[in-house]
Structure 1
Amino acid sequence: MSNHVNHLLAQWLPLKNKHKWVLGFIFKTEGSCYRKAGAMMLFSDAGHQLGILSGGCLESDIVKKAQRVMTDGVSRTAVYDDEDEEDIAFKLGVGCGGVVHLALVPVNESNQYLSLDVVSKSLSNGKACEWRCAVDGTLGECTELEDHSATPRKAVLDNVDGKRMLSVLMLPPIHLLVVGGGYDATFMTKLASLQGYLVSLWDPRPAQARLEHFPEVNYLIEDPSTEGLRLHMGEHNIQAAVLMSHHREIDAKALQVLSKQSITYTAMLGPLHRKQEIMDLAGLGDTNFTQYFASPAGFDIGGELPEHIALSVIAQCHAVFHTKPTHLKR
């Protein structure tokens, strides 16, 4: 199960009025910490624990504190200091060496669910938004952003009229198109789904891309035509694509469609000489792709199995979207 905030909120939303809920969120960190400011987790009186706030080491203590908030409805803050021998974090052997400042606040109709329902709607619609929440849990706001090119940035803690407010940029899941429905593509779609990506799959060959082989895929594009592919991409805001059909004509046709879209990350399996063959067949050049185009696809991690290739490609895609170095390309 993905820990992407969109997935957490999608699980919480239909249950928001059926249980008592507490939101735990990190509003400040010092030193090395597993999760940073803006990380969130939802707890219910029915035992739901959605998300993660540490490597799993602090959650048992956080649950106890969340239960107290459920009982009396009073927000709380907690500090976990791994360097303090008297602190619970040290006794639990967390080992990161940092300090985590955590807020635990009720989430209910009386505080408008801290606008988490609005955040969920924005992300589900593929829109980025800015979520602002008071550390004391008295206020939550969500502002949808018009900028579709927003990139991840650190959460900001401000003091507004004497109230500590945390501002968090919420980005929708990356939507990845996989071209090719062979055995190796099953690893690509599984790993992408684990990262919280939305995944579309297209393969015009009737014997490929069988639904039973791709249970994690969000959209199986049934129209085998390139026009059907183009319409799907326009409707669903595809941001990344991996070409792995192992078929020259299919990859070339897909490239022609991709060249007319605004794609942040494009990758094509195969050696350099194959890239040139496919580009020539498609009548395209490197200038047709103004954003990141990796061919051969992925980082060189020394692997050759399908699961290794999927790992290298998804890691490279993640690096591109998070503006991290991509010089480890094959």
Structure 2
Amino acid sequence: MSNQLIHLLAQWYPLKDSHQWVLGLIYKTQGSCYRKAGAVMLFSDAGHQLGVLSGGCLESDINKQAQRVMQDGKYRTAVYDDNDEEDIAFKLGVGCGGVVHLALLPVKSDNHYLQLHTVYSHLVSGNACLWKQEINGELSSSVSICGAQPTGSSELADTTPLVKAAAKKVAASLDTQNGKRFLTVHCQSPPHILIIGGGYDATFVVKMAVQQGWSVSVWDPRPAQARVEHFTDANFIVESTEADALNLHIAEHNVDAAVLMSHHRQIDSKALATLSRHPLKYVAMLGPIHRKEEMFALAGVTESDFQGFFASPAGFDIGGDLPESIALSIIAQCHAVLAQKLPLLQQ
């Protein structure tokens, strides 16, 4: 199961009233740490541990503290300092050398589930949102779709941090209002990648994208390709043979990226023409450089027609030629583009 926020909340949501729950929330870090501010984990009295807050080093101690929160219903904060010889993090041999500031907050109907159910609803609908959570005190919360006014369990008059977080698309920002600390977390649905081509090599790209927690669509107009039994992990298989159906699917499902790997001139060229009409962040196509020019000519497009990053040949050159290696190189490159790791792309 992916550690994407939407997948953690999908497991928690149907059980939210069946168990006692505690949210582990990293609200500040210093130095080198496995997870950064905004990372969450959910603990229950039935033994559920959804998500990760470290590389497995701190979870056992965090779970013990979460159990105490369940017993008395009071929030707690903790600091794990890997540089302090007296700190539990040092004694556990974490070795990262950083400091993690953690809040453990009860999640129950009385505090409106910290508005996590609202966050989940927005993410399922494909809407990015800003979740603002008080770290201590009354544990007030609010959620707003990016660009909208916040709604939640308390009045939060100052929405400036929300606007700033949305504009910068930072993972999280910590601020103080009237002596209270609030963490604003930018929450968004996982990327949606479209695979053009339903051959054997495409199955590896799909599996690797699914392991990242991404949504995946597959389209191949050839009846012998993109068979359901070969792509059981895919979220959608576009069964129509018409490019217009592909055009509609991209618009309806907010596709972020696409990989052309049909190994077929007509299919790739038609798909290229369709993809050029959408603001995709990443488009990649298999094949040598000269094939790219041939496909552009058949599609009647140029590279400037694509708003995002266009890669052909697709993926990083990692020195592999097996389907598994090619899939790794493509997903890694796509991930770098979506994460805006431009220095990596320029290497």
2:283 aligned with 1:266, yes or no? yes
How far, CA to CA, are the matches of 2:31 and 2:323 in structure 1? 37
Instruction: Output the amino acid matched with 1:204.
Output: P
Counterpart selection for 1:257 from 268, 274, 281: 274
1:10 to 2:27 alignment: no
Alignment partner, residue 145 of structure 2: 144
- Aligned counterparts, 1:13-162, within 5 A: 13-136=13-136, 138-146=139-147, 152-162=169-179
Q: Secondary structure of 1:38's match?
A: coil
In structure 1, list runs of 5 or more residues that go unmatched: none
Counterparts of 1:80 and 1:327, CA distance in 2: 31
Task: Read off the aligned partner of 2:342 and give its amino acid letter.
Answer: P
Aligned to 1:291: 308
Q: 2:180 maps to which residue?
A: 163
Name the CA distance, whole Å, in 2 between partners of 1:145 and 1:255. Answer: 31
Residue pair 2:78, 2:103 contacting (<8 A) in 1 also:
yes
- 1:299-310 equivalent positions in 2, closer than 5 A: 299-310=316-327
User: Is the alpha carbon distance of 1:327 and 1:133 closer, same or farther for their aligned partners in structure 2, counting shifts above 3 Å?
Assistant: closer
Whichever residue aligns with residue 212 of structure 2, its letter is Q
Aligned counterparts, 1:180-259, within 5 A: 180-259=197-276
Q: State the superposition RMSD in angstroms.
A: 1.6
1:231-270 Cα deviation digits (max 9, x unpaired): 1111111111011111111111111110111111111111
Cα contact 1:81–1:100 (8 A) shared by 2? yes
Kindly tell me: are residues 181 and 157 of structure 1, through their superposed partners in 2, closer, same or farther at Cα, counting changes over 3 Å? same
Q: Is the 8 A contact 2:196 2:219 kept in 1?
A: yes
3-state secondary structure, aligned to 1:234: helix
Alpha-carbon distance, 1:154 to partner: 3.7
The change in CA–CA distance for 1:293 and 1:315 in structure 2 (over 3 A counts) is same
TM superposition shift of 1:303 = 1.4
The normalised TM-score by structure 2 is 0.92
Deviations 1:183-241 (A, max 9, x none): 11111111111112111110111111111221211111111211111111111111110
Q: Distance in 2 between matches of 1:328 and 1:145?
A: 28
Contact 1:299 1:329 in 2 (8 A): no
Match of 2:153 in 1: none
State the one-letter code of the partner of 1:159.
T
SS at match of 1:131: strand
Q: Structure 1 residues 189, 146: closer, same or farther in 2, change over 3 A?
A: farther
SS at match of 2:342: coil
Structure 2 counterpart of 1:286, one-letter code: E
TM-score normalised by the chain length of structure 1: 0.96
308, 313, 330: which is aligned to 2:330?
A: 313
Q: Distance in 1 between matches of 2:16 and 2:167?
A: 29
| Amino acid of the structure 1 residue aligned with 2:232 | P
Aligned-pair identity (%): 61
- The one-letter code of the counterpart of 1:273 is H
CA distance in structure 1 between the partners assigned to 2:238 and 2:48 by the alignment: 34
Q: 1:326 to 1:184 in 2, by over 3 A?
A: farther
Alpha carbons of structure 1 residues 327 and 40: separation in structure 2 relative to 1, 3 Å: closer
CA distance in 2, matches of 1:176, 1:255: 15
**Offset from partner CA, 1:90-118 (integer Å, 9 cap, x none):** 11111100000100010011111111111
Alpha-carbon separation, structure 2, partners of 1:161 and 1:281: 62
Unaligned runs of at least 5 residues, structure 2 = 149-165
Contact 2:336 2:345 in 1 (8 A): no
Distance change (3 Å), C-alpha of 1:151 and 1:293: farther
* C-alpha contact (below 8 Å) 1:26/1:36 kept by paired residues: yes
CA contact (8 A) 2:69 2:105 kept: yes
For 2:188, give the aligned amino acid: L
The answer to whether the 8 A contact 1:80-1:101 is kept is yes
